[in-house]
Amino acid sequence: MASEAPTTGEYIQHHLQNLVLGVHPEHGLSIAHGAEDAAAMGFWAIHLDSMFWSIALGLLFIFIFKKAADKATSGVPGGLQNFVEVVDRRRAFSCFRVACGWLPSVSRERRDPRRPDGRLDGFGR
């Protein structure tokens, strides 16, 4: 055989290492073959496996939301449209809270005279 089988610890350590592409000081542009090579590549090294999954999940997100947008109706919404609207409403509401400085403590201080309990809805109306 060309080489001996790695020990359990070496096998696990090898598979915990990210697939890293970068400029090595001695070898030029290459893929790291260990933690030492990845460390030598420095800050500008690219983790290819992390980049792949980030792009793949981003494309999946775009595909699902595009599919929901194409099937959206003004009548009774389907399950996918409900899901997208809930996700979008939560995102929009959290952005509104940050942009307008709305905090739950503020809503307790202000009262709505039109409601018997005086509570405000989430948008301060």
Would you place residue 108 in the very low, low, confident or very high pLDDT band (cuts 50, 70, 90)? very low
Q: Say what the pLDDT of residue 106 is.
A: 45
Least Cα distance to 45 among 60, 69, 64, 27 occurs for 27
Strand segments (E) across 25-62: 28-31, 46-47
Over the stretch 81-107, which tens digit does the pLDDT of each residue have?
A: 888 778 777 665 565 555 555 545 444
Specify the pLDDT at position 58.
Answer: 94
The model's pLDDT over 15-49, given as tens digits with 9 standing for 90+, comes to 777 889 999 999 899 998 888 888 899 888 999 99
